Each structure stands twice: as structure tokens, then as C-alpha cells.
Homo-oligomer: A and B are copies of this chain.
């Protein structure tokens, strides 16, 4: 079994937002990248993204300079890679056929990592001859900044090699014991969002105030620790055991009171106009730049605190 040190070259298949972000990360980690994407101008857009991401990654200590090659042909892109990161659109039939092609063309010891947020691994690897070397490796937007990578696989050795590879890139791989739609983080995000939509539907507060109730409150804590650990600290000296014993019943009562909204045209309209008011004229590009600036600084703080 080879370790992550055996991985030197990475193929990036699909260079949209996610693929370009992965490519920037791999290059900054010192890996050589061969990228491919059938879209017009894909190479120009990819190189532009990498140039913009490089200083952010350098700030986070990722100063490597792998070489980037762009090729038009899928088989040529993956045939020499030690690791393939696949980022095609979220279409089950398309992805299933693409993974079968990659499986045919890739070296026998190459790992194929799939950036899917919504599809089930078991269904999209169904036509592969060697499904055991295919894993889900789902990043979080923006992937070159957020450390989380959700891993679903079937072969422990493959999973261990992939985790070591991602850790070499300062990622935090989280391994699921079973596959489940939406993995972990998108399920948790959707659960929160359902209630956020319910509060809009019920007219409890403005969209901007609902957002602030997260970003000026529990969201600040969640950038440091997850929900279980948060309640551990909410339990006083008795910790999570005390919390669950004494406040578990009130959690269960609140769960029973949570809403089940529907995204009707009215609700969608209220959300859209509320977000517009909250954005206050700032463009999406501006909002992204502000967010990414803060993300980089928060990640630096966290790296410093844990080192």
C-alpha cells in the first residue's frame, strides 16, 4: 500500500467553480495538475481563477508551485495521474458514464475522487470495473479555502491514502461510515435552512434579521466548534451529559415545534426581496470578496490557535 507521498500528479476533470478551486489548491500544495474541461474558454477561466486564488492560499501557508497542463482529451488527462478529482455537473447518468470512462483510462493504482454534493456514490460507480478505488470527496464552497472534505468509500486503504493526501493540503477529511443523501454538512445546512425559511414564511422577522441571528450569534461559535461540543459547553460543569439530562426534553419539545415550510412563489418572493434588502446594493462579487477575505483571516487565526 502506498502512502500519500506516492501521489505527485493530480488530474482535475471539470474546471467549473469547484474544479478550478481544487486545481488551485493542488498546485499550491506543490502537486502537478493536468486539467480538462470541454467548455469553451475553460483553460483561460481556470488560469484566471488560479491566479486570483494563489495569494489567498499563500496567506494560509500553501506556497507550492506545481505545474499546470491543460488538455482537451479526458483519457489523456487521467492516464498518468496518481489521483483524479472529478467535478462534472450533478447529473447521475452523466456522472455514472464519466466515472466508467475515467475508470477505464486511469492507472490501476490511481484513486478517483468524486466532488458530488447530492448523488449517492453507490449509484454513480455502478458501471466501474474497479469501484473500490472511487471515493466521494465532497468539498465545501469555496473549496480552496474551507478545510472540510466529506469522504465516502468502501476500501479502508483507499480512504486512508486519500485522507493523507487531503491532510497534506491542510484539509480536514471527515469519513462517513455509510452513505446518505447530502452527506453530513449539507444535511445539517438544509435542516437549519428549513427553519430559516419557516421563519420567513411565518413573518417572524426580516430575512436580514434571521441571517444576523446566525452570523452575530451561534454562527460565530460554529466557526470554532460543532453543535455537540457547543451543547457540551452549554451544560455547565456537567457538560453534555448534564445538558441532555436536563435540557434534552426541552430540545425534543422544540423539535416538535419546528416548521415544515414549502417554497411557494410567495415564500420565494419574500426571500428574494429580503436578501436584496440585506445585500443593500453590494454585488455578489463584492459579497464573495468580503467573505473570502474574512474566511482567510479566520482560518489563519484557527491555524495559529491549533499549532
Interface on A for B, CB 8 Å cutoff? Answer: 17, 118, 140-141, 146-148, 150, 172, 174-178, 180-196, 199-200, 202-205, 207, 209-237, 239-241, 244-245, 248-252, 254-255, 257-258, 260, 262-263, 268, 271-272, 274-275, 278-279, 284, 287-288, 290-291, 293-295, 297-299, 301-302, 305
Contacts and interface: CB of A to CB of B under 8 A. Distances in A.
B219 A204 contact: no
Contacts of A219: 219, 222-224, 226
Nearest to A219: B222
B190 A178 contact: no
Number of copies: 2
Given A191-B192, A227-B214, A209 B239 contact: no
Given A148-B217, A192-B192, A193-B231, 9 more contacts: A178-B204, A180-B204, A183-B213, A187-B258, A188-B210, A214-B226, A233-B284, A244-B263, A255-B260
A251 B294 CA distance: 27
Contacts of A199: 180, 184, 187-188
B284 A232 contact: yes
A192 B86 CA distance: 29
A190 B284 contact: no
A249 B263 CA distance: 8
A261 to B, nearest CB: 8
Which secondary structure dominates chain A's binding surface? helix
B294 A302 contact: yes
B263 A251 contact: yes
Contacts of A226: 196, 210-215, 219
Contact of A193 (B223, B245, B251, B302): B251
Contacts of A298: 220, 223-224, 298, 301
A177 B205 CA distance: 6
B258 A190 contact: yes
B228 A207 contact: yes
Contacts of A214: 185, 188, 222, 226-227
